[in-house]
Amino acid sequence: MTRRDGVVPTKITVLATIAVSSSFAEAVKEIREEYGEIIELKLYYVHEIIEELVDERTFKEDIRTSDIVLLDIRSRGRPLDLAREALADQEKTVITLVGGTAEVMALTRMGSFSPAKMFEKQKPSAKGYVDWRKIRRIQSMIEKMGTALPFGSLKHARNWIRVMNYWKHSGKRNIKNLLLFVASEYGGQNVKFEPPVELPLEGIYHPKLDRYYTSLDDYLKENCDPQRPSVGILFYGGMHFESSVVGVSALIDKLEKRVNVIPVYSDGVDNLKAIRKFFFKNGKPIVDAAVSFVWFRINGGPLGGEPQETLNLLRELNIPFFDAAPMYMREIEKWKKSTQGFSPVELIAAVTLPELDGLIEPVPSLGLRNLDYSDVLGADVKLTAAIEDRIERIAGRILNWLNLRRKKNSEKRVAIVIYNYPPGEGNVGNAAYLDVFASLDKIIERLRKENYNVGDGKFNFSEFFLNQGLVNSGKWSPRSLTSHNAIIVPVEKYEEWFSELSEELRKEVVEEWGEPPGSIMSYDNSLLIPGLELGNVFVGLQPTRGVHENPAKAYHDKNMPPHHQYIAFYKWLEKEWGADAVIHLGTHGTIEFMKGKEAGMSSECYPDFLMGNMPHLYVYHITNPSEAMIAKRRSYATLINHMSPPYTQSGLYEEFTELEELINEYYEAKLQDPVRAKRIQPKIVEKAKQLNIDSMSVEEIYDELFALKRSIIPSGLHIFGEKYMGDDLIEFLSFVLRYDRGEIKSLNRILSQSMGVDYDYALSHPNENHNGKSLGQILTEIEDRAKEIIRLSLDSVEMGLKVAGIEKNLATDLRRTLSYGLEIASHLEESSEMDSLIQALNGNYVFPNLGGDPIRTPEVLPTGSNTYQFDPRLIPSDVAYERGVEIAEKTLKQYYDKNGRYPESVAVVLWGFETVKTRGETVGQILGYLGVRIVREKSIWFPKLKLIPLKELGRPRIDVVVNICGFFRDMFPDTMKLLNEAFNMVASLDEKENKNYVKKHSEELYRELVREFSDEKMVKKLSNARIFGPRSGEYGTRLTRLIETSNWESESQVAEAYIASMNNVYAENIHGEQADKIYRKILSNVELVSQVRDTHEYEVTDLDHYYEFFGGLSKAVEDIRGKKPEMLISDTTKEQIKTETVDRAIQKGVRTRLLNPKWINGMLKHQYHGGQKIADRVEYLLGFAATTNKVESWIWSKVAEDYVFNEEMRKRMQENNKWALHEMMGRLLEANQRGYWQATQEELDKLRQLYLELEGELEE
């Protein structure tokens, strides 16, 4: 296009990540008024390209036909790929507007200058961050050299820095001069321009005053009342100033009538300097709370900085630091309609990374709003706008946290919520590996010492709740007893609170549960709140979800709204009782799983409505960071993590001990009297058969016993605030030091080396002889020796070295290992669970730390921390990838050895629970099946995929059906993207179908789908899609409800419940769309089902989610194919990965725990809760029986014999928790009724008699 005066306009295409469109529109308008139409501008938004809302051909064509391309791309992904494709073989000016990665900067072409090589050596460190200070020094050097020598590449380099400075400081004036500058320098336009207008990198800006301050004293003097609390606000200056200040302004409106506000802007990189300068005075904090409108971790922006500097500063600040979670790349309307909430980019940048610094309560404060379409831009004008009701929520919660800081302890009202799930008398105070009632005693006593009003005297909480009928939907407690002792909420009062819900949500609740008060926990037109008031402390039972009272609802989706009593409970706490803080005690409750967005709650999300403005503290098990993240993000919880119970070795017991003695005698006889050995051998085989260890040689039997004996098991339950002492500490450290950890060698390995024993070989071949002893015996001796060395090392590493008495060449390794053990011991001692809870109730900062298995990852210590997840950008780690590939090969070998061929398709279970602890072993396993490597050449944060050639792979590429849980979806969006990329890559290869089963199945699916869909691009996506899971906003399946309520008749119903919950596909820009036909089709190819067991606390028999996902998936495949798949569990908790069939895994769990006197005694030390946990395991066995048919009949007989028919044990169980015993007996009867237990008539008669006797006692 040429103007009438002959001037050819400069065509500029801009790709921007920030909402600067109004500045561009105004700038172009002014330029045209001054110079005419010298610039033709086309604006694209990065997030719209990511979401495939932009036509790719049009975008590429605009870039190719432009004279100048301005790119604000921060990392890899679709925008970079498309830009790179469009610019290939193009000679034009391309200017990257921010540093970004080396790949992004490589696109810059300004005359003879390209900056890519200058930063190639600037890689993230092993800790995962870049030294941004060095980058700034390089930029400064370029600017100076370009000024001194303004020609050639140095001139263009200086121009690049200048353009970035325009962009960095942004605003209409800078945008206008940026366009004029590039049009002059690279577009041949004869125009004038001004240098960038640069503000200080940090300062105070009050939007209502429209005034900047560089002096804190001046600001305080003019704007702050020293008698009021103060809230610091951190937001962006520079390029993001216009975007973030709107949220700041709205928040100030809500706060400033009651508090001082100190709104501080920073460049987004050196935020620590701004915090130190304006949130402190004379070295002391002057703010009582702070809120951030900044993305990423606080120090270093997107590049990252040394995190310890941040943590030290925030610990010194010691205030709650809130995350305003701004949506700089998502339209408000889109967020409102979405069940996903935050986009994947925002989830990482605005939620996950701030969590690593201990920021809390990610409520979305602002987002994009579309104005009219602009002909000047060729795009919609987008502005950021505050979300008013979310700003109100942030302000309300901040003010209530400030109340905790200012109120006297004696006046604070604290609600402690415990659980009663499933409902009834047997499950009050149920929580994962926590003795809730003993913990409650300790918390109440500590509150008393801290001068809280906790009333007089002490309570036996379990007896009180049960004797008073204070249970949810009690089976044995009459409703009249409950109503006499519970708190009564008249329906009229409840309806006032209910009316605060939107009309749509009220309608939803009524449709599901009827008009108020409904049938659940209602009496005489009122709602009942079971709980106990102790002065200013309330201990109450979280309401049930309503499924067990209405078993038919087990078939519904899991996204049911809360019933009336559920709503009444939380609204009563907030509005009637006046809770200053709510503590949820134990893992886990249900409020965080209520219907709503995955993250980025709106006022239409039930967790947001129920929690209201009450500060929320959540005592949570350290080993479960995946579900903990949901509590943080969906119910605004500040976590106080607690330790696992003590660990011990399973050991052998009863007839297993006799069998071991026989085998030892056999090995001794083999050396001294071979004839006697032959006589002993059949006795061993017979004894093993009696113990249901069949079809094994003596050597295999010994290996099995050795594995059982050496298994690590939990001993009982944890009591909040307690630490490991004495033998428990030694035992724990011995388990930690079993494992190699990079440079830190296994203590057992070092001791084996000193004895001339190959440690790895010994672990693999414990039955073999070495100098007259089995290697298993030697390993046992080494473990005993290791414990003694550890015991002495706690006083002095030198003492440990001395008693070890090993040669000098191993002494350095031993010193390093023992020093590491001493460090772990000190972290255990530093654990401050109770102190952290009190600090949180004081409105202080709770130090953040990683969550996970404390044996596998001792870095999670000390406890008492605010749990965060492992950085999702680093999944899978190099080690996890390698171990995952090993799992893939082990499972394939096991399948091949049995079937003589490879499976075409494997179905795997991919949990957030596992991924966050193993760093991505299952992800590595999936890539291993596909024959794909992870490569991190330029950045540890941006992994690339590389194909392994078939020749090197040595087998076909195996197809994989990935079954995720909702936690994985919410926590690892980047990993899902990586896996989708891998599937697309492998499906598109030019390989024979018998060498690439992904390609084979994708092409089969394509041929079916192309007949149904006209959109070929969508057909291709769906054909290659292999990730399925719960629909958006849901987390698990309906299967556990069916098992818990016994509300199923056939195993096909179980399979259908699983399929109906998991038939939702996840692919690029496809988020949980139902795809039942596709899911069934790809499940029909599955021949092997695999899952990783990753946590020392949980064998597969210890957690219902194992039968729910692994079992449910196996049953679904069986139901579709008409035959069972191979079912393999890979245990990665040991020094060597062990893959075994599911029946062996179940038997191991049963033998080391449920039937093990050591485990049983550990549980029954805990009054009431011990019986609870034992009954749970029996229920889980029923789940496995229904889904895998691999719970052998002898297991049921042995459970009945040990727990019911053994009079002493039955009495112990009855004294501990008679309701749980009754539940267990009922499960045994159900197992028989469903055909899983072929009980003898004698067993059945005895069981029924005892069941009825106990039932009579419960009815009295």
Helix residue spans in 722-765 (DSSP H): 726-736, 747-754, 759-764
CA triple 1135-739-799, angle to 5 deg:
145
Quote the tokens at residue 560.
């049911």
Banded pLDDT at 119 (limits 50, 70, 90): low
Q: How far apart are CA 1032 and CA 970, in angstroms?
A: 9
Count the domains in the chain: 5
Regarding whether 254 and 219 lie in a shared domain, the answer is yes
Cα separations (Å) of 1020 from 421, 988, 1003, 1013, 1074? 44, 10, 9, 10, 17
Regarding whether 583 and 516 lie in a shared domain, the answer is yes
**pLDDT at res. 809:** 86
Regarding whether 983 and 1072 lie in a shared domain, the answer is yes
Q: What is the DSSP string of 1118-1174?
A: HHHHSSPPEEEEEE-SSSS-EEEEHHHHHHHHIIIIIT-HHHHHHHHTSTTHHHHHH
- Residue 372 inside a domain? The answer is yes
**pLDDT at res. 6:** 60
* End residue of a domain, out of 1120, 1153, 1186: 1153
Length of the chain: 1260
Q: How far apart are CA 1247 and CA 1204, in angstroms?
A: 7
Buried-state track 881-912, b at ≥16 Cβ within 10 A, e below 16: bebbbbbbbbbbebbeeeeeebbbbbbbbbbb
Regarding whether 1044 and 961 lie in a shared domain, the answer is yes
* End residue of a domain, out of 608, 642, 676: 642
- Residue 700 inside a domain? The answer is no
* End residue of a domain, out of 585, 613, 642: 642
Output 668-673 pairs: Cβ under 8 A, ≥24 positions apart. 670/769, 671/769, 671/772
Regarding whether 209 and 92 lie in a shared domain, the answer is no
**Using an 8 Å Cβ cutoff, are 860 and 849 in contact?**
yes
**pLDDT at res. 122:** 52
Q: How far apart are CA 1210 and CA 1196, in angstroms?
A: 16
For the segment 337-357, what is each residue's pLDDT rounded down to a tens digit? 999 999 988 999 999 999 999
CATH number at residue 251: 3.40.50
Phi, psi of 639 (to 5 degrees): -85, 145
Q: How far apart are CA 1148 and CA 705, in angstroms?
A: 10
Strands (E) located in 929-982:
932-935, 944-947, 959-964
- Residue 480 inside a domain? The answer is yes
**pLDDT at res. 129:** 41
Closest among 434, 403, 396, 394 to 418, alpha carbons compared: 434
**pLDDT at res. 1:** 47
- Residue 91 inside a domain? The answer is yes
Regarding whether 548 and 501 lie in a shared domain, the answer is yes
For the segment 747-769, what is each residue's pLDDT rounded down to a tens digit? 999 999 999 999 999 999 999 98
Provide the residue range defining the domain that includes 892: 873-1153
What is the SS3 assignment for 490? strand
Which range, of 227-241, 368-382, 611-625, 1065-1079, averages the lowest pLDDT?
368-382
Q: How many Cβ atoms from other residues are within 10 Å of residue 590's Cβ?
A: 17
Regarding whether 249 and 165 lie in a shared domain, the answer is no
Regarding whether 1202 and 1110 lie in a shared domain, the answer is no
Quote the tokens at residue 501.
């819900």
- Residue 267 inside a domain? The answer is yes
Q: Between β-strands 284-285 and 289-292, what pairing exists: parallel, antiparallel or unpaired?
A: unpaired
Q: What is the DSSP string of 840-868?
A: HHTT----EEE-S-TTT-GGGPSSSSEEE
**pLDDT at res. 808:** 84
What is the SS3 assignment for 11? strand
> Token pair 């600001």 is at which residue?
219
For the segment 62-101, what is each residue's pLDDT rounded down to a tens digit? 999 999 999 998 877 889 899 999 998 888 899 988 866 6
Regarding whether 222 and 99 lie in a shared domain, the answer is no
> Token pair 């946590």 is at which residue?
1095
* E strand or H helix at 131: none
- Residue 582 inside a domain? The answer is yes
Q: What is the DSSP string of 1067-1098?
A: ETTEEEEE-HHHHHHHHTTEEEEEEEE--TT-
Q: How many Cβ atoms from other residues are within 10 Å of residue 330's Cβ?
A: 24
Which range, of 29-33, 536-540, 734-738, 1230-1234, averages the lowest pLDDT?
29-33
What is the SS3 assignment for 534? strand
**pLDDT at res. 628:** 96
pLDDT more than 70, % of the chain: 95
Q: What is the DSSP string of 772-820?
A: TEEHHHHHHHHHHHHHHHHHHHTT-HHHHHHHH---HHHHHHHHHHHHH
Which range, of 679-683, 804-808, 939-943, 1157-1161, averages the lowest pLDDT?
939-943
Average pLDDT, the chain: 93
Phi, psi of 261 (to 5 degrees): -120, 140
Regarding whether 230 and 171 lie in a shared domain, the answer is no
Q: What is the mean pLDDT of residues 1-19?
A: 75
> Token pair 């209201």 is at which residue?
612
Closest among 805, 752, 807 to 780, alpha carbons compared: 752
Q: How far apart are CA 878 and CA 936, in angstroms?
A: 9
Residue 606 has pLDDT above 80, yes or no: yes
Residue 128 has pLDDT above 50, yes or no: no
Q: How far apart are CA 879 and CA 884, in angstroms?
A: 8
**Using an 8 Å Cβ cutoff, are 873 and 974 in contact?**
yes
**Using an 8 Å Cβ cutoff, are 1108 and 1055 in contact?**
no
For the segment 1162-1198, what is each residue's pLDDT rounded down to a tens digit? 999 999 999 999 999 999 999 999 999 999 999 999 9
Regarding whether 623 and 577 lie in a shared domain, the answer is yes
- Residue 996 inside a domain? The answer is yes
Quote the tokens at residue 845.
């900062």
Q: What is the mean pLDDT of residues 112-138?
A: 58
Q: Which pTM was predicted?
A: 0.94
- Residue 651 inside a domain? The answer is no
Q: How far apart are CA 1048 and CA 442, in angstroms?
A: 42
Regarding predicted confidence, which is higher, 559 or 192? Answer: 192
**Using an 8 Å Cβ cutoff, are 1110 and 1142 in contact?**
yes
Closest among 213, 228, 354 to 295, alpha carbons compared: 354
What is the SS3 assignment for 974? helix
Regarding whether 412 and 381 lie in a shared domain, the answer is no
Banded pLDDT at 1014 (limits 50, 70, 90): confident
